[in-house]
A and B are shown apart, each in its own frame.
Chain A
Amino acid sequence: MTKIPDADVWADARRAFRRQGSLAGFGVVLCFAVAMRQLGQADLDPSMRWLWLLLPVPALAWAVWEATAQPRRRDEFERMVSARASEISWPLTIVWIGFVALLATAYGFPMPIPAPFGLPPDNFGWPEVLVVPLLIHLAAFTIVYKRYTGPR
């Protein structure tokens, strides 16, 4: 396999740093997950409710800004990879939503999950539902990207 020159590695790193969209996306998911968990607590102090409600807003604003700015920063190859990844992840996300809807109809929402190894039971709620489409898109993007840039 051909060794990639150091200059190329640094150029990749510089370019990746300019591309902060996925970082913003995961920031939103993380803030939403933390806020939802806190808001779901029965003994939450009412004065803290607004704080947790507003927690995802700055991250959401950053994500919206990145979502509008990012396509302009991409070159045509990156746009093509992103479009191909969406072609895969979009129908899979629809399938995921349908699957969650069926489960929610059958078992209610959030769904209790029996925890293994004697751990306390957990709920399958909004944070888990929201994370899966992002992971689907990330996986699809990685697969398509590797297909075009992997070893010959």
Chain B
Amino acid sequence: MTNRVQELRLARRWTQARLAEELDVSRQTIYAIESGRFDPSLPLAFLIARCFGLRIEEIFTPEG
């Protein structure tokens, strides 16, 4: 799965720590999601989408 989390975060000039606090997760979790090494669960993906005011499919897209 690819995602636009980093792009959306940088557009808001947020640090990884700021986004992590918004979502109540660790900064490493944000890093792992942004680098594509970790796919978040559906509840966390919904939280991320709500945080950016977008729909899940506008942030996460299946690879290939």
Contact = CB atoms under 8 A, between A and B. Distances in A.
A8 B37 contact: no
The SS class assigned to the A binding surface is: helix
Nearest to A145: B28
A4 to B, nearest CB: 8
A149 B17 contact: no
B5 to A, nearest CB: 13
A117 interface: no
Interface residues of A, number: 17
Nearest to B32: A148
A108 interface: no
A8 B38 contact: no
Interface of B: 15-18, 20-21, 24-29, 31-33, 35, 37-38, 40-41, 44
